[in-house]
Amino acid sequence: MTKKYFIHIVLIVAGLFVAGCGQNKLRKIAIPQDAQPFPKALFITTGVNFNREDPSLPPAIVLAVQELSKNGIPVKLADRNILYHKDKLMNHQILILLTAKDIHDADREFSLSYMTDKELENIKDFVRNGGFLISGDNVGRNTYEGDDRILEGGELNPGNYALSEVYGMILNEVNIKNFAVSGRKIPFKHFEKPGYDDDFWMATGIKAISDKLDTLAVWHNGTTIYPAVTRNEYGNGVSYWVGLSGWLVPANDGGESSIAQIEKFYDFVAQDYYKQKALPVQRNLWPGAHQAAFAVSFNIADTLPPYKFVIEKLKQQQIKPTFFVSGTVKKEIRDFLKNQKVDLASSGYAYANYTSLDFADATQDILQNEAVWQEKFTGFRFPFTTPGYKGMLALQQNDYTYDSSISANHLDFILGSIVPYNLVLAGQDYYQTTDIFEVAPTYHDDYFFIGKLKTGDYKTPKQLHKDVLRYGQYLQDYWQYAVKPNKGLMLVLAHPDLTGHNEQTFSALQKMIDTIKSQNVWLTSLPSVVRYFKNNERVSLFVKNDEKQTLIYVKAEPDVRIKNYAVRLDFKPEKAVASTGTAEIKQVDDVYYVIFDATDRQVIKIRK
């Protein structure tokens, strides 16, 4: 046998061997055209308004972010400019346009009441191609130049208003004085509002032009009835028209609905999407089929011993904390931290109040701290957890990936989000969508409860013991009533010289960690959470489903690999196979999950 023929035979045998070894694996194949995308939502807003005394995300947006995320639908916040970019718009499956105060209703360049024909046509195409639209009142009623389309055309119809077909009705302005509101169908079945005593003019449907229009709630006065909330199927998509955007704003923030009612609405829309698209599977918010996440962060302290104490304690718990540091930290502390296996993030050089800094000074303070620490920080927490508008812009320009300053409080009221979100900034007649994720720490830190340790005001050990118990109970309540129901993230904000003062003061955090470890929670670090969310933005999943199996196709940017990606199933699987790596079936309570590594062209086959 010649050498040439010998090599040829060896290659054939080797090829057969490889094929045989991989016979239980799937080949990486292209995504079928009829595969349905896992939904992603887009909420159009000017976001965090720094013209307010206490800048934070409006509660109406917080509720949408949290409830949709809980249903496996990540939410991207964006300013209205994206409505011109049809390709970016089509990368999402749910579009939310509300005109309520503080969400996106202000001067003409901000307000969604003013729209060009191009924007309206892009929204129309979005729904026609399969998207779900949640629309508040008066969206695009006026031209961008300020002309009222109703005054010009006598009504809003398909000829002068592209959304008329999407809503499935012709609209006109009606005086709803003395008209009460009554819900007819879920999710507005028990929604009731009394009539207005004064004149109240609003654009509402006066004629149905779609046989797929469904009225969920009505305005009524005697025998006169107008639609108040509708659902319409248009093309391959669905539109929800809400007669007043304030019905999706909580009553304690100037709206007209309870938190439970708003959550019920977004939950209904999410399930409606899965049902209409016949999707028996959805994303899990956290990797590994975990139902929530937990991380620990610290602000600065003046002396080294408490740093050593908390790092050693958390190392025993296999927790990697994040320390937010400034240029005011002593050199011995700086040298110590840089040699530890901890994550470092910035609070600026001078630990200054950024609300009084202009853009140049904010940038200088941020970069000076990087120079002192010889570190390219990616995370930031504003001193005194008081974010500054120009500081935020400086973070965006200098490629920071997250901020952790806008605290979350869901015990006393809705403030901040339990689920991380990207920041949209508004202030001084300017708005900008950023790639910075806001990761909210606990509203109260250890200083709120045991801050008297810094001033020596404790007269007896009993007083300190009492306050430590109060702090520990706050952490437990925050977890039990704010984080856990929303399947969100609990990010503890503490100080080394308070929580790390001694064993007694550390006990509040220790008991919290013990609680977390007893439950199905992702015990992680702050940077890991941010990487997970940012990578999730760069991954899209598609589903092809039939009676025998469900196929999941992954499309991702080349450098993205999300380990232990988890999807929730509506059925009991018999077997799961991955084209790359493994696919693990995991049961949590009565729900089944499949866990795999999400990489480009990964294919998961789930046999029913």
pLDDT tens track for 398-421:
999 999 999 999 998 899 999 999
Per-residue pLDDT at 585 exceeds 50:
yes
Both structure tokens of 496: 């080394």
Phi, psi of 446 (to 5 degrees): -65, -30
The fraction of the chain above a pLDDT of 70, given in percent, is 94
Common-topology check for domains 40-278 and 293-405+441-528: no
The DSSP letter of residue 442 is B
Residue-averaged pLDDT of the chain? 92
Please state the domain extents for the chain: 40-278, 293-405+441-528, 539-607
- 446 falls in which pLDDT band (50, 70, 90)? very high
93-102 pLDDT, tens per residue? 999 999 988 8
What integer pLDDT is reported at residue 11 of this predicted model? Answer: 35
- C-alpha dist (Å) from residue 2 to 11, 15, 16, 301: 15, 20, 22, 77
| 3-state SS assignment for residue 408 | strand
What integer pLDDT is reported at residue 238 of this predicted model? Answer: 98
| 3-state SS assignment for residue 416 | coil
Query: CA-CA distance, 601 to 28, in Å (whole number)?
Result: 6
Per-residue pLDDT at 25 exceeds 60:
no
Per-residue pLDDT at 18 exceeds 60:
no
The DSSP letter of residue 479 is I
Q: Name which of 153, 64, 66, 73 is nearest 117 in CA terms.
A: 153
Mean pLDDT of 549-565: 97
The CATH class, in words, for 40-278 is alpha beta
Contacts of 468 (CB under 8 A, 6+ apart): 449, 450, 504, 505, 507, 508
Mean pLDDT of 322-343: 95
Query: CA-CA distance, 235 to 298, in Å (whole number)?
Result: 52
- 7 falls in which pLDDT band (50, 70, 90)? very low
Mean pLDDT of 11-20: 36
Cβ atoms 251, 244 nearer than 8 A: no
Mean pLDDT of 145-169: 95
What integer pLDDT is reported at residue 106 of this predicted model? Answer: 56
CATH code for the domain defined by 293-405+441-528: 3.20.20.370
What integer pLDDT is reported at residue 67 of this predicted model? Answer: 98
**Kind plus residue range of the DSSP H or E element containing 523:** strand 522-523
What integer pLDDT is reported at residue 412 of this predicted model? Answer: 87
Query: CA-CA distance, 275 to 144, in Å (whole number)?
Result: 36
What integer pLDDT is reported at residue 62 of this predicted model? Answer: 96
Kindly report the pTM of this predicted structure.
Answer: 0.93
Mean pLDDT of 537-556: 96
Per-residue pLDDT at 430 exceeds 50:
yes
Phi, psi of 449 (to 5 degrees): -105, -40
Contacts of 371 (CB under 8 A, 6+ apart): none
- 433 falls in which pLDDT band (50, 70, 90)? very high
191-224 pLDDT, tens per residue? 888 988 899 999 999 999 999 999 999 999 999 9
- 262 falls in which pLDDT band (50, 70, 90)? very high
Both structure tokens of 291: 């139902």
What integer pLDDT is reported at residue 195 of this predicted model? Answer: 86
Mean pLDDT of 510-536: 98
Per-residue pLDDT at 14 exceeds 50:
no
- 27 falls in which pLDDT band (50, 70, 90)? low
Per-residue pLDDT at 512 exceeds 70:
yes
Q: Are strands 237-242 and 549-556 parallel, antiparallel or unpaired?
A: unpaired
Per-residue pLDDT at 26 exceeds 60:
no
The fraction of the chain above a pLDDT of 90, given in percent, is 84
- C-alpha dist (Å) from residue 166 to 81, 142, 148, 208, 210: 21, 17, 19, 11, 9
What integer pLDDT is reported at residue 189 of this predicted model? Answer: 84
490-501 pLDDT, tens per residue? 999 999 999 999
Please give the residue that has the higher pLDDT: either 10 or 141. Answer: 141
Please give the residue that has the higher pLDDT: either 12 or 518. Answer: 518
Per-residue pLDDT at 22 exceeds 50:
no
Phi, psi of 69 (to 5 degrees): -60, -40
Mean pLDDT of 576-594: 96
Q: What is the DSSP string of 194-258?
A: PPBSS--EEEEEEEE--TTEEEEEEEEETTEEEEEEEEEEETTEEEEEES-GGGGSBGGGT-SB-
Per-residue pLDDT at 9 exceeds 70:
no
Query: CA-CA distance, 520 to 487, in Å (whole number)?
Result: 11
Per-residue pLDDT at 13 exceeds 60:
no
What integer pLDDT is reported at residue 5 of this predicted model? Answer: 41
Query: CA-CA distance, 463 to 457, in Å (whole number)?
Result: 10
What integer pLDDT is reported at residue 105 of this predicted model? Answer: 52
Q: Name which of 379, 389, 331 is nearest 491 in CA terms.
A: 379
- 24 falls in which pLDDT band (50, 70, 90)? very low
| 3-state SS assignment for residue 507 | helix
Whether the bond between 187 and the residue before it is cis, its omega within 30 degrees of 0, is: yes
Cβ atoms 595, 584 nearer than 8 A: yes
What integer pLDDT is reported at residue 104 of this predicted model? Answer: 72
Mean pLDDT of 49-56: 76
What integer pLDDT is reported at residue 495 of this predicted model? Answer: 98
Contacts of 605 (CB under 8 A, 6+ apart): 26, 549, 550, 551, 576, 577, 578, 583
- 431 falls in which pLDDT band (50, 70, 90)? confident
Mean pLDDT of 598-602: 96
Terminal Cα-to-Cα distance of the chain (whole angstroms):
51
Judged by average pLDDT, the poorest of 52-61, 261-270, 317-326 is 52-61
Cβ atoms 422, 398 nearer than 8 A: no
What integer pLDDT is reported at residue 111 of this predicted model? Answer: 86
